[in-house]
Structure 1
Amino acid sequence: MIERGDTLLAARGLTDARDRLVTADEALAELQYACGGSVPGVLAVPELLDLVRQARTMGLRLAREFSAHDGEEMITGFARIHPVPESEGGGCEVLVENWQRHPGALAAAGEFAEQFDAIDRASAEASGRLDPRQRVQFVSAGAPDARALEQAVATEPGRVWTDYVTLEDLAHRQPMHWRLLDGVCCRIPGSERRWRVRLLPVGTVSTAPAGFEWLLVPDEPLADVGEQPDADDAEGIAGQSRMIGNALTPILRQPIARIIANAETIRARLAGPLREEYTEYAGTIAAAGQHLSVMLDDLADLEVVEAPGFRTAREKVDLVDAARRAAGILGVRAQARDIALELPGEGTTCLATAEFRRVLQILINLVGNAIAYSPAESRIEVRVHDVHEGRVAVSVADEGPGVTEEQAERIFDKFERLGRDNDGGSGLGLYISRRLARAMGGDLTVSSGESGGAVFRLDLPAHGTDQTA
């Protein structure tokens, strides 16, 4: 282990044929312990474990940029993985060059964390509270296939939450730092769906959280048991229409997140002094990574809404609450352009029968589009409407350029961007939003405002009426 200033020139380790870290320099050993592993023990650093498995199974030397975090700081370097011949025991030699620690990188990468947290809170179908040692205090299941988890906690309360679920692709040993577990994927008892875990600290994060919000967010909606596709169609649905959501999304999400985090680290000059034009390049890379991430999510959603037999949940949804949540998530973006968001008044309600997270998804898309295409220092008005014949609605009106009659006919088409080539959109948001609206027994339309601009209107069945989707 050779050091120069604050940079470690190289850290070394050796794994065996079962991907166990059997020897390690001090820095690599410390990272291994911080990630919940031991020496010797299965390599617990996910980023290094992926590389070691690839090199060992393919029998090829690999050299990759490397980034990880130990719960407190971001660590970067250049990893070289050299497989050892089976005649010499198998395994791999691990060499990480230019090992650097970046104390502020986690904060830089989390610029939009509050927005993502709000979306995950709204999308979680099971939630609970953990104590400072990650032991479950209670859990509440909002989805039928999460009730077995709720029952397991009630039967044996007070255990660490990882005892109740099965983590995917993570070599771990509790206790682990909560940052290393935030965002991991798991399986829960009684559910065939894949779930993403969020741990949101309660109290002061800079010292030790007083506990955690425990959120379980499913990767896909719960299938309607009464509307299952025919057996002859099942293979086609699983193997074709969900290829991106089930196969590509989990594989691509982590490297895209690394690209964004590393670019943000460079842009913020956390790795050292850098010329201004290079920080701008890094900002462009981060923006492109965000765009790619959004595209991936849109394509996964597209598969869901176009799958045969797609259904949404039917629950009571307050459109006022959903509108306020969408505006809260996008408030910072509006403030950056001095755009005023006018929302329904406090104490008002407008109840629909729909699926809350899908309504929120639609409203985030509508308000986000309004912010993107409105002039600075303008106004966006979000209103709710009681409609005759058992319908209610929420509308989003902006002061932008509006849409022509010809554009209004095409704006909900798949991949339609109305000639906008540089806005970073996928052309899928409005198409998916309309499909979701119609799946909930409603509709999504657009018209011109009285004084210009565009007005998007989401109509849904009023709560308490007998509507069928």
Structure 2
Amino acid sequence: MSAPERIQVEAQSDGEDRLLRADEPLSALQIRCGGTIPGAIAVPELRELVSKARGFGLKLARPIIAQDGQETIRAWIEVTPQEGGCLIILRHWQASSLPPEPADLANRRRVEIDRALAELTARLDPGQRLMTVDALAGDLAQVAQAMRGGIGRPWTDFVDVPGSGQRQPLHWRLLDGATVVVPGSQRVWRATILPQTGPEGETLGFDLCLTSDQPLPEPAEPAVAAPSPPSKASSVIGREMAPVLRQPIARIIANAETIRTRRAGPLTEEYAGYAGDIAAAGQHLLTLIEDLSDMEIIEAEGFAPAADRIDLADVARRAAGILGVRAREKGITIHAPDETMHLGAVGEFRRVLQVLLNLIGNAIRYSPENSAISVLLTAGAGRARITIADQGPGLSPQDAARVFDKFERLGRSGDGGSGLGLYISRRLARAMGGELSVEGHQGQGARFVLELPQG
């Protein structure tokens, strides 16, 4: 309810930026924003100005705009430092009702939060069959391992959906939001199914997110054991350390996304932008941890990918489908092999998919808007080859010679890369008996060629 304009609204804060007293309607705004009197200033815009005035010891004055979830408040504020706190004066107080939210905004926020909070994510094809799986929590390791060994099977083969005796998988709308029981975990999980559609509205597949409102139980204190001998492989992040780091960073990202999408309450665009920066930085750090963990695995003695018989054309179509949304955001068209094309090869399915996701993802990142990326298949001399060709800036001979080096980013900064993707991809290609190379010239785009034994 809008308050009538008053000549002056006064308040007093202490040396810890707590509101000691306040006239109406500021006192009501403080309470609606979750604060108390006396108590910490609950209006972010007011708290920031009071903190600056107190810290600088200077009188500050400016207009502010605040929200309480129902109204937008506009006022002129003057903050004068005093001994032990600040005198706060607001003039020209005006309140107006917030416009109604779009009907689908709540659903979009739910999707964003579920993505950020998910402790297991999987990419599904249009038949809800598993394509890729990634898990963060330790109590999901068992089901994640089973899912990775069952690529191509329905995801519901690996969990229990209570109360459903029908043939699985059900229609995705019936499974979206369903409670699931995960083998190896004592927590209650909720499934979120997010359809991915093409330009004509066709279903390209789904993203599966498993979230839980219960925190991961604290592990029992391990028994003291003799120190292990040092590993011959370099240990950068440690297989034991990576899961420990993933969960708190994922929580940071989730909390930042909650703030950015204003699910926790109203916030100005400036602060929402700060939260978005925090989420992006957290995601970059999480990607770096994953890359370091992958690097340790592939550099370990005895690392040997599975020798699966795969259809390289099918893996290429899946990779292009996964990255289709990102490409369309830049107006980029991915020309993937059509459904009639097939090319047998020998290599571990998920590792080949990992390499192609890295190559196509790089092509999207460095290609200009409204360009095209071609995914080409060739075979000969017992080798199956797939080429990712883009219309980006290309590589000089000097850059092409070092693009596969560890931590090499060719002088780029701010693109979110770790400098490990191509290094890991080449190591994987060679571990599968193949090779990864680059062709092309500066100014003429790049052509990355993945070569595997033909099957």
TM-score w.r.t. the length of structure 2 is: 0.57
**CA-to-partner distance for each residue in 1:155-184, whole Å, 9 max, x for gaps?**
xxxxx965xx433xx5x5xxx3x32xx6xx
Q: Kindly provide the amino acid, as one letter, of the partner of residue 434 in structure 1.
A: R
Q: Distance in 2 between matches of 1:380 and 1:365?
A: 14
User: Which residue number corresponds to residue 184 of structure 2?
Assistant: 166
User: Which residue number corresponds to residue 125 of structure 1?
Assistant: 149
Q: Distance in 2 between matches of 1:446 and 1:335?
A: 25
Deviation at 1:264, TM superposition (A): 1.1
- 1:437 and 2:437 matched: no
Q: How many residues align?
A: 292
User: Which residue number corresponds to residue 44 of structure 1?
Assistant: none
Q: 1:261-410 residue pairs with structure 2 within 5 A?
A: 261-387=254-380, 389-410=381-402
Q: What secondary structure is seen at the aligned counterpart in 1 of 2:437?
A: strand
Give yes or no for contact 2:313–2:341 (8 Å, CA) kept in 1.
yes
Give yes or no for contact 2:162–2:181 (8 Å, CA) kept in 1.
no
When residues 278 and 8 of structure 1 are mapped into structure 2, their CA distance, relative to the original with a 3 A threshold, is closer
Deviation at 1:134, TM superposition (A): 7.2
User: Which residue number corresponds to residue 230 of structure 2?
Assistant: 236
User: Which residue number corresponds to residue 78 of structure 2?
Assistant: none
Instruction: Give me the CA root mean square deviation.
Output: 3.5
Q: Distance in 2 between matches of 1:449 and 1:318?
A: 30
When residues 452 and 108 of structure 1 are mapped into structure 2, their CA distance, relative to the original with a 3 A threshold, is same
When residues 370 and 350 of structure 1 are mapped into structure 2, their CA distance, relative to the original with a 3 A threshold, is same
When residues 262 and 448 of structure 1 are mapped into structure 2, their CA distance, relative to the original with a 3 A threshold, is same
Deviation at 1:316, TM superposition (A): 0.7
Give yes or no for contact 1:128–1:213 (8 Å, CA) kept in 2.
no
Q: What secondary structure is seen at the aligned counterpart in 2 of 1:117?
A: strand
When residues 286 and 134 of structure 1 are mapped into structure 2, their CA distance, relative to the original with a 3 A threshold, is farther
Q: Kindly provide the amino acid, as one letter, of the partner of residue 133 in structure 1.
A: P
Deviation at 1:117, TM superposition (A): 2.1
Q: What secondary structure is seen at the aligned counterpart in 2 of 1:326?
A: helix
**CA-to-partner distance for each residue in 1:116-172, whole Å, 9 max, x for gaps?**
421863352145535530789999xxxxxxxxxxxxxxxxxxxx965xx433xx5x5
- 1:448 and 2:440 matched: yes
Q: Distance in 2 between matches of 1:333 and 1:418?
A: 23
- 1:250 and 2:218 matched: no
When residues 417 and 383 of structure 1 are mapped into structure 2, their CA distance, relative to the original with a 3 A threshold, is same
When residues 136 and 296 of structure 1 are mapped into structure 2, their CA distance, relative to the original with a 3 A threshold, is farther
- 1:109 and 2:105 matched: no
Q: What secondary structure is seen at the aligned counterpart in 2 of 1:246?
A: coil
User: Which residue number corresponds to residue 413 of structure 2?
Assistant: 421
**CA-to-partner distance for each residue in 1:291-328, whole Å, 9 max, x for gaps?**
01100100000001110111110011111111111111
Give yes or no for contact 2:434–2:452 (8 Å, CA) kept in 1.
yes
Deviation at 1:421, TM superposition (A): 1.2
Give yes or no for contact 1:410–1:416 (8 Å, CA) kept in 2.
yes
**CA-to-partner distance for each residue in 1:20-43, whole Å, 9 max, x for gaps?**
xxxxxxxxxxxxxxxxxxxxxxxx
Q: Distance in 2 between matches of 1:110 and 1:335?
A: 23
Deviation at 1:245, TM superposition (A): 4.2
Identity of aligned residues (%): 48
Q: Kindly provide the amino acid, as one letter, of the partner of residue 378 in structure 2.
A: H
**CA-to-partner distance for each residue in 1:324-379, whole Å, 9 max, x for gaps?**
11111111110100001011122110110000000000000000000000000111
When residues 424 and 346 of structure 1 are mapped into structure 2, their CA distance, relative to the original with a 3 A threshold, is same
Q: What secondary structure is seen at the aligned counterpart in 2 of 1:132?
A: coil
Q: What secondary structure is seen at the aligned counterpart in 1 of 2:132?
A: helix
When residues 108 and 344 of structure 1 are mapped into structure 2, their CA distance, relative to the original with a 3 A threshold, is same
Q: Distance in 1 between matches of 2:236 and 2:32?
A: 48
Q: Distance in 1 between matches of 2:422 and 2:386?
A: 15
Q: Distance in 2 between matches of 1:372 and 1:281?
A: 23
Q: Which has the higher helix share?
A: 1
Deviation at 1:458, TM superposition (A): 0.1
Give the unaligned 5+ runs of structure 2. Answer: 1-30, 37-104, 125-129, 134-147, 169-179, 196-205, 211-227
User: Which residue number corresponds to residue 73 of structure 1?
Assistant: none
When residues 241 and 137 of structure 1 are mapped into structure 2, their CA distance, relative to the original with a 3 A threshold, is farther
When residues 245 and 350 of structure 1 are mapped into structure 2, their CA distance, relative to the original with a 3 A threshold, is farther
Q: Distance in 2 between matches of 1:410 and 1:420?
A: 14
Q: Kindly provide the amino acid, as one letter, of the partner of residue 149 in structure 2.
A: E
Larger radius of gyration: 2
